[in-house]
Structure 1
Amino acid sequence: MNVPFKITRLTGELLESAVANPPEPHRHDHEELVILTGGMPVHLVDFTSTRLEAPMIIYIAKGKVHSIHPDPNTRGWVIRYTNELIPESRFNFYSNFSDQVNFQLNPDYCASDLNALCEMMLKEYKSPKPNYEIVRHLLSAVLARIDADRKQDDQESSPAGSMYTTTFNSFLKILENNYKRPEGVDFYADKLNMGSRNLNLISQAIFGKSITEIIETRKLIEARRLLLNSDLTVANIAYELGYNENSYFTRVFRKKTGVTPTAFREKMQNIIS
């Protein structure tokens, strides 16, 4: 992407050809945020398809290979931006621990707020000389609005929601610094001065997955990144990620993705070449 920011309104006219001929999987050199306000498109990420249902926020991290197949009712906004414009966001952070980062909005979500911010970004983007500092502030406001809604949902769903979120985010930060080590749930529970059972309960409540599943997902996301962006052998990648045996790494990778690491690398190289 030769500019730091792009925004597109998803209309029936714009998506007509994509509905008839769904786009091929492709890899981004930018971050992408989709605000889905209508429809039920299919999202394909690393050979795994998921049916999405509006209203929803979809975040696609830089480097992901994906495609979105819209249906005739798909509506919303697509926002593309460089990492330099918004260096860090909660979506970017969570993308390290989940194959897809989707946030289901309540049907009565504040559409007017998000739509107004997108309209202002679109107006600035289409101006003869866009001011990307203004765009950055508006996009930051969009991300803050979404994050505020998510936190409110956490608090409404459980009185302990806010505390759970804080503990869970602390776990993710510790995991990010240790995921290459062959450590399990007990290691992370000890770091947080709590029991393994309680940590798993918090993980299930916030993320819908066990701690073991999240650890494994983080390892496999890094494995896919290395398979795509490095010349390391499968055996070297397994060692890099703390797997004692290459054969065990291959079994885990195949169970998660449906293909072996070698087949994944070959398929992805064919897609992006």
Structure 2
Amino acid sequence: MAKEKIPVYDICSLGNQHEGNDDFLVDRLPDYLDKHLGHLHFPHRHAFYHLVLFTEGRGTHTIDFSQFDVQEGQFYFMAPGQVHGWNFAGNMNGYIVNFTEALFKPFLQQTGYLERFSFFSGISEEGVCQLPQEVVKTITHIFEQLLQYAADMRRHADMVRVLLLQVFLVVDDALADRQHAGVPQQKLVLLRGFRKLIDTHYRSLRLPKEYADLLYVTPNHLNALCQDLIGKTAGELIRDRVLLEARRLLANARMSVTEVAYDLNFQDNSYFNRFFKKYTGQTPDEFRKHILKA
């Protein structure tokens, strides 16, 4: 069955200004908006990591259908595959960076290094950070350096990588108090592994026991871990991921509800409708009409 997807942009399709490099883009927010706002206000996905620091402006932005008010000093991070849109008002200032996972492959021996940062978890609420003014000043200085070095990526690629990692480490340090302080590292590693498996298998595996087997733990242990660290059961995390993808696909007007149900491995379209309404309070058609109207 042919399916139309939500628009997916890579860095090339956004007109990378850094000649000879398809893995990195940095720009001042007003300049970026002048080039791209006309087609990026509607929900779309990125095939790359995406981060924005707001230093001035107002309006809202959405990440996976959670809406956030723009605030001075707000920094948001997005992992590949998340859906977002903008609704800005007035003058906007700040910085934007897009980069692919490939940017760091020749530089970091530790695979999955970015997964250590909670703001790249792919959970929208964990990716939006309000930073103290002194941290914003530090990161603004780093962004100005990035703009200079990115003008010649062939010569300064490693400097760009170092500066970008510095941004992540500075933000991570500023957010230390909001993270799971005192939680044993092995528990956090297990939770990240569970979330990663859900992202890979949510279309075909729907039971906590199936994931517990892949993680070599008991279902009771996995469930207790999720409730302890997140306040949700393992089954709720699986269900939430299915619902999130359903919302992402329904945001695309060219994909029928039947095609969405088929894509998510619901062989019975009526069961998908009942499942979606039970947990969202809306039918798939009602949700779609609301999103497109908004």
Greater CA drift, 46-55 or 35-44: 46-55
Quote the Cα distance in structure 2 between the aligned partners of 1:9 and 1:257: 40
Matched, 1:181 2:205: yes
Letter in 1 for 2:259: T
Alpha carbons of 1:47 and 1:198: their partners in 2 closer, same or farther (altered >3 Å)?
closer
Aligned residues: 255
Q: 1:73 to 1:226 in 2, by over 3 A?
A: closer
Q: 1:110 aligns with which of 132, 135, 138?
A: 135
Q: Does 1:143 align with 2:160?
A: no
Query: Residues 23-59 of structure 1, C-alpha deviation per residue, up to 9 Å, x if partnerless?
Result: 6315345432112344553013466533244433212
Could you tell me how far 1:119 is from its partner in structure 2? 1.4
Task: Give the letter for the 1:181 counterpart.
Answer: L
Alignment RMSD (CA, Å): 4.6
Seen in structure 2, the aligned counterparts of structure 1 residues 169 and 79 have a Cα distance that, compared at 3 Å, is same
CA distance in 2, matches of 1:17, 1:236: 36
C-alpha contact (below 8 Å) 1:40/1:51 kept by paired residues: yes
TM-score computed with the length of structure 2 as normaliser: 0.63
Shift in alpha-carbon separation, 1:181–1:83, aligned structure 2, 3 A: same
Residue of structure 2 equivalent to 1:271 = none
- TM-score normalised by L of structure 1: 0.67
- Secondary structure class of the residue paired with 2:61: strand
The one-letter code sitting in structure 1 at the alignment partner of 2:240 is: T
Distance 2:267 2:35 in 1: 48
CA deviation string 1:155-208 (max 9, x = no partner): 5xx43375653442243244345433120389649954526345312113xxxx
1:150-165 superposed matches below 5 A: 150-154=175-179, 158-160=181-183, 165=188
Structural mapping, 1:84-123, within 5 Å: 84-86=102-104, 89-90=114-115, 94-95=121-122, 98=123, 102-107=127-132, 110-123=135-148
Could you tell me which runs of 5 or more consecutive residues in structure 1 were left unpaired when the two chains were aligned.
269-273
Amino acid corresponding to residue 171 of structure 1 in structure 2: F
1:224–1:6 distance in 2 versus 1, CA, 3 Å: same
The answer to whether 1:42 aligns with 2:42 is no
Matched, 1:216 2:239: yes
CA deviation digits over 1:117-137, x for unaligned, max 9? Answer: 211111112359663333233
Counterpart residue type for residue 144 of structure 2: E
Distance 1:47 1:257 in 2: 15
- Secondary structure at 1:182's aligned position in 2? coil
Q: What is aligned with 1:260?
A: 284
Structure 2: gaps spanning 5 or more residues: 1-10, 17-21, 106-111
Matching residue of 1:201: 228
